[in-house]
Amino acid sequence: MPTTKTKISNSDVKSLAQVLDQSEKIKDVMIECADDLSSVNVALKQRLANDVSSLGVENALQTSQSVEEKVQHAATQLSAVNQALGDEVIERQILEQRLETAQAQADESKHASLHDPLTGLPNRLLFYDRLEHGLAQANRHGWGLAVFFVDLDNFKIINDTLGHATGDHVLKTVALRLKETIRNDDTLCRHGGDEFLYLLLEVGDQEHIAVIADKIMAAIEAPKDPPELSSITIPSISASIGIAIFPKNGSSVEALIKSADEAMYKAKLAKENYVFA
C-alpha cells in the first residue's frame, strides 16, 4: 500500500478533528446563548407578573421563548452531529493505525524478500536487479562497471571444526568489514554460502580496480573483529576474488557473474588474492 495514501489519511483525520473542535466551540456558544435567553425570559416573566397590562412585554417574552427553544433545539442537534464526528474521528484513527501497521508489515516483508537474514546484506535477487540497472546506466552514459566474486577460503573447515555458530559469526564479520569498506553507491550482497558479490559502478581502469580489490582483501583479512562482533574469537580469514569488467568480460548480468566466478576459481587455484577475468 503506497505511503502517500497513509499521508493523505493523516491529513483527513487532522482536518476532521479540527472541524469537530470548531463545532464543539459553536455548540458551547449556542448553549451559552440559550442560558442567557433563559435568564432574560425569567426576568420578562417576573416583569409581566408585576405588570399584567404590558402587552409589549408579553409579546417580547413569547418571541424570546421561541428563540430560546430554537437555540436549545439547534444545540441538541449540533451535539448529535459532534458525537457522530467524534465517532468518525475515532474510526479514522483506527483505520490509520491499521494502514500504518499494514505498511510496516509490507515494508518488512519486502525487505526480508530482498535481504539475507544472517548478514542483512542484499540477496542475489536484489543484487541482480541493481546490476541490471547498473548495466543500463553504463550503456547509456559510457561508464565502467565491475563485478567482484568473493569466496572465503577454507570456510568448510571452519564450519566443520568450530561449528556453525562460529561459521555464521565469520560470515557476519566479513559482511561488516566489507560494508565499512565499500562506497555508498555500490552494492554488496551475500550470494549464498560463503560467497559475496560486489558491484562497483563508474569505475576507472584496471589499475584503479586493483586498488579497490586490495582494500577489499585487507578488510577481509583484518586481524580485529568489528566492535559489534567482538564477543567471539574467530580464526584468521582470507578470500579469493574474481573480477569481471563491463563490457570487456560480458555485457549481461549472467555473463559478468559467470566471468567473475570463473576468475575466482583461477585465483583460488593459483593461491592469488584476486584474478581478473
Question: Which sequence positions are flagged as catalytic?
Answer: 194
CB 234 within 8 A of CB 170: yes
| Dist CA 227 CA 143 (whole Å) | 36
Judge contact between 251 and 199, C-beta under 8 A: no
Beta strands in 37-193 (DSSP E): 145-152, 187-192
CA dist list (Å): 140 to 201, 250, 251 = 13, 16, 13
Q: Are 26 and 42 contacting, i.e. CB atoms less than 8 angstroms apart?
A: no
Q: Which pairing describes strands 195-201 and 187-192: parallel, antiparallel, or unpaired?
A: antiparallel
CA distance 60 to 62: 5
Q: Which three cell numbers stand for residue 95?
A: 483505520
Separation of alpha carbons 202 and 225, rounded Å:
30
Residues forming beta bridges with residue 197, ordered by sequence position: 149, 189
